[in-house]
Structure 1
Amino acid sequence: MTESLGTLSQDAAGRQEASRELLQRPIITAARDPELLSLIRKHATALKSTFASELGYTLIVESTFARLVKTPLEPTAPTRALRRPNGVPLGASSYALLALTGAALLAPGMGDQVLLSTLVAQVREDAAARGIALSENITDRRRLVAALQVLVEWGLLGETDGTVTAWGDNASNDALLSVARPLLPHLLTHPLGPDTELAHVLAVPTDDPRKRLRRRLVEDPISLRRDLSDSEQDVLAREKTDLTRQLDEYFGLTLEVRAEGVLAYDSDARLSDIEFPGSGSLKQATLLLVGELVERLPAAQARTELLAPWPLVDQILSELTAENERSWKQEYVDSVVALRTDVVALLHDFRMAESRENGLALHAHAARYRPTTGSPT
């Protein structure tokens, strides 16, 4: 009996680990993550059922890959940009090149392996046909490298001989790439054709409020009550106990319901594309700003948010910059405007604050990050 209970516990832990990884990385390949793919395949039936019934997602599991096909996020959800290895978000031109590269890999004659030079030639040909300028200079080459690195990170492309980075440094450094061809047709969540309308591709499903609420909670740091429909708020009120248990059991998330909204947080801080709190000038400045605003603004100002006038935000950031000028990035030391822009963007990504014409509106749950003595958070 003890052995059976232990096995059940291990299976539950394995399913949770697999579901968490898939939420974070919807594409898993045998080439890059053989052990994780093996775990997903072991629990494929249960995982498919959970994702379909709880979130309305489709999980595709094959011998060489797993692909979690998500639905479009709510309009209020923060944007999750693709990023270069150094953390810089991809620009619009790199997104265009990513789409062109995916299309080029589907061109007639492209096999399971392709020379990088051949792939690039096809991308350039397709770009020219669509009126997209793509020269051979180092700037355009680096944009193309950023797009190619995304496909390498996803496991769609494998660097068999040579690397994409080396080609980016010098175009004479060719590389042999392996193509995960069975995965290629599953990159897009919707098939695209000449008559496909963008609004259709990005439309949020109008399925039952139960799934919609659960999607909000697993994909967004916080769901504000004002963003929830009446039916979603009804589900929250009626199913709070079940919702709390299921989010914990399936995804390892802890549910916290407040007056201003609902928070489903990961106590391990792993189920996020951005670490916060964390190291680096920007995250340190953001954390310290939140602490100062919570301390300086009157607690009775509002029940669900604190409004910090922009002059106060700039004053605090200037003070923090002066105190940390030796350790923070020179860009931020030289320009409080640049620091404020990036700090506000980070707070917005975590749904901790919103920009208003008259100031920064700090949501009540941001106070959980207020620094305290003896604690980094």
Structure 2
Amino acid sequence: MTVSTASHEAAERRTAARALLKTPILTTNAPAELTLVRRHAKTLKQLFFSRFGYNLIVETSFARLFKAGLDAGTPTRAAQRSTEQDFTPRHYTYLALTCSALLSPTVGEQVLLSALADQIRADAVLAGLSLPDTIEQARHLTQALYLLMEWGVISETDGAIASWGTRQEECLLDVNRPLLPHLLATTLREASTPGELLTVREDHFNPEAPRRSLRRKLVENPLVRREDLSEAERDVLSRERRDLARRLDEDFGLILEVRSEGALVYDPDEELTDVLFPGKGTVAHAALLLLDALTDTLRPTAESRAQLDGADVPGVFAPSETVWEEMLLIIEQYGSAFAERYKHAPDTLIDEAVSLLNSLSLTRSVKDGLILHPACARYRPEPQKLPSRPRHVVDHAADSLDGLFTDPDSSEQGER
């Protein structure tokens, strides 16, 4: 094999591995990526199991990467509606009922949406659930169907899901039945409680356990706080950082950045993320402005510490009153450019902006306020490109953040 051929195959494997990290369920909706995964299935199965303890199933019509359950410190990710809002408990109820109905013996490779809806209502009655036949309930069902269509479980053959949801016009669906049993990472018969479906099952006597759990945290979390790592994981990060960085780069094209306060892995191509930040939209803009305002007001330094569950952690505490005041000022100054639903609902905007920052591990909600992680310094503004704020001077915020996310060469030399 020539060097060029070897490089080409390595690039193909990296592309396939990246596709699986981004989308753990690949179907014929992504034919190019699925073809690459099938071509390199043997190597990819070995890679994901040895690196992370993940199992990979590759079939003719789909590939399914079974990730481990969530670690306690992992920010949760809600399923998204077509409006980019989070699924509610009612949406999840319809999602579960729809999957159950699709597995019914009466459903084949095609099903009429009206018949599927009848099956869902019948299953709901058996489960003791009340699902009124209303337009609102139909919208909840259509959102569940859109998600299943995104996953490649169903596809529209004749008619449209949207038309059924608004005008009850018939729709014929194709069903990818071989994929349905593989949606859950753990079979229901193995779980006695719902929580067990999300629990990490790790053999702590396996010497690879801390390596695997560390790698999982790095590739799945936007930011890994040092206080959230076990002693064994911190030891692996310190002793094997160079090897870890090399493997992440070779396998997935990801860059490892380690600091005294924590670590993160980022994608220079900005593809392997479900949350872009800074991002578009009112909530993302308000969250970025809120970070600027809070750091400007609180003036954190590299030595700033906060209390989290009785432990002393890097960061600075922002009282709820301060968060509220700053958001009101942001709405007053920038509100004319915000979506209409937020202009007169500061509580809603605060909740969603804070939720976004928490999901990125940049902040943590605690009693009576927020804890800002030192990594917030990565998002300090360039003063000359932003309009001046009426109450604070942006330049001071940037100056106070210098050195906050400390370079490891000044703080970890004793570890390496």
TM-score by length of 1: 0.94
Q: Distance in 2 between matches of 1:105 and 1:6?
A: 47
Equivalences for residues 85-234 of structure 1 within 5 A? 85-171=82-168, 173-193=169-189, 196-207=192-203, 208-234=209-235
C-alpha contact 1:352 1:362 (8 A) present in aligned 2: yes
Deviation at 1:185, TM superposition (A): 1.5
Q: Distance in 1 between matches of 2:331 and 2:49?
A: 48
- State the match for 1:5 in structure 2: 3
* 1:122 counterpart SS class: helix
Q: Distance in 2 between matches of 1:279 and 1:101?
A: 32
Q: Deviations over 1:315-355 (max 9, x none)?
A: 22222211212211233221322221111111100000012
1:337 and 2:347 are equivalent in the alignment: yes
Q: Distance in 1 between matches of 2:317 and 2:186?
A: 41
Q: Distance in 1 between matches of 2:291 and 2:191?
A: 47
The letter for the 1-side match of 2:32 is E
Q: 1:23 to 1:327 in 2, by over 3 A?
A: same
Deviates more, 1:4-13 or 1:62-71: 4-13
Q: Distance in 2 between matches of 1:332 and 1:100?
A: 33
Deviates more, 1:148-157 or 1:337-346: 337-346
The letter for the 2-side match of 1:111 is G
- State the match for 1:308 in structure 2: 318
Deviation at 1:375, TM superposition (A): 6.7
The letter for the 1-side match of 2:24 is P
- State the match for 1:326 in structure 2: 336
1:42 and 2:39 are equivalent in the alignment: yes
Q: Distance in 1 between matches of 2:249 and 2:241?
A: 12
- State the match for 1:360 in structure 2: 370
Deviates more, 1:304-313 or 1:73-82: 304-313
C-alpha contact 2:161 2:171 (8 A) present in aligned 1: yes
Deviation at 1:217, TM superposition (A): 0.6
- State the match for 2:263 in structure 1: 262
- State the match for 2:26 in structure 1: 28
The letter for the 2-side match of 1:274 is V
C-alpha contact 2:191 2:197 (8 A) present in aligned 1: no
C-alpha contact 1:255 1:265 (8 A) present in aligned 2: yes
**Runs of at least 4 residues of structure 1 off by over 6 A?**
374-377
Q: Distance in 2 between matches of 1:372 and 1:318?
A: 23
* 1:272 counterpart SS class: coil
Q: Distance in 1 between matches of 2:138 and 2:40?
A: 41
Q: 1:7 to 1:373 in 2, by over 3 A?
A: farther
Deviates more, 1:326-335 or 1:138-147: 326-335
C-alpha contact 1:305 1:363 (8 A) present in aligned 2: yes
TM-score by length of 2: 0.85
* 1:269 counterpart SS class: coil
User: What 5-or-longer segments of structure 2 have no aligned partner?
Assistant: 204-208, 306-313, 387-397, 399-416
C-alpha contact 1:287 1:371 (8 A) present in aligned 2: no
Q: Distance in 2 between matches of 1:264 and 1:365?
A: 13
Deviation at 1:116, TM superposition (A): 1.0
Q: Distance in 2 between matches of 1:129 and 1:299?
A: 56
| RMSD of aligned Cα (Å) | 1.9
* 2:335 counterpart SS class: coil
The letter for the 2-side match of 1:47 is L
Q: 1:50 to 1:366 in 2, by over 3 A?
A: same
The letter for the 2-side match of 1:21 is A
Deviation at 1:189, TM superposition (A): 1.4
Q: Distance in 2 between matches of 1:73 and 1:374?
A: 41
- State the match for 1:19 in structure 2: 17
Q: Distance in 1 between matches of 2:227 and 2:215?
A: 16
Q: Distance in 1 between matches of 2:21 and 2:326?
A: 37
